[in-house]
Chain A
């Protein structure tokens, strides 16, 4: 059963702590993406990766970091430098041509 998994569904962290969000796909897609969604806002691109060991900054990369050591995995770290980390985070993947498939999302709340 192919798809994208994100864990956990809900995540709580104290201010000043780094936190890593998991994203795994078994669709054999080359490209993977991280977005954040805030209330009343569209999806904004944080980072994306076209192939293993390569990634590029999106529109709002400040305060975030990623790695792409395996084709299936694209974890996102929200660092303490991110000013407003509380948001709904979405991971997606795509083949070379075609639509992006999204995971179920992780809601991060920083207390």
Chain B
């Protein structure tokens, strides 16, 4: 049973426009959410995160929105650039009370930004 779902395997946008990547989750215990960007044959790199006490977090061109009632989060990239072309993974975690976060990942969305 997939607890974190990214229902769009791919997304194509024009340079300069907004990219919106979506993520849904089923586990209501998740309280921390992250977005990672991954190029082929490389490890993912952290982009932005949000805790369940917030509904928005912004970092430069990247903004993450969290709708807890809908169990939905989205990543907005404005303006999109060709270098943003990559696979984007949504991840979620439950504070375990220990010293680590176990992350549950979605399957990813391939973003292509066309010049």
Contacts and interface: CB of A to CB of B under 8 A. Distances in A.
B102 A43 contact: no
A40 B107 contact: yes
Question: DSSP class of B's interface residues: helix, strand, loop or mixed?
Answer: loop
B46 A101 contact: yes
A35 B46 CA distance: 15
B43 to A, nearest CB: 3
Interface residues of A, number: 31
B49 interface: yes
27 contacts: A6-B43, A30-B100, A31-B99, A31-B100, A40-B107, A42-B105, A42-B107, A42-B108, A43-B44, A43-B89, A43-B91, A43-B103, A44-B105, A45-B102, A48-B100, A50-B98, A51-B99, A90-B43, A96-B99, A98-B101, A100-B101, A102-B43, A102-B44, A104-B42, A105-B42, A105-B43, A107-B41
Interface of B: 4, 6, 9, 34, 36, 41-46, 49, 89, 91, 98-103, 105-108
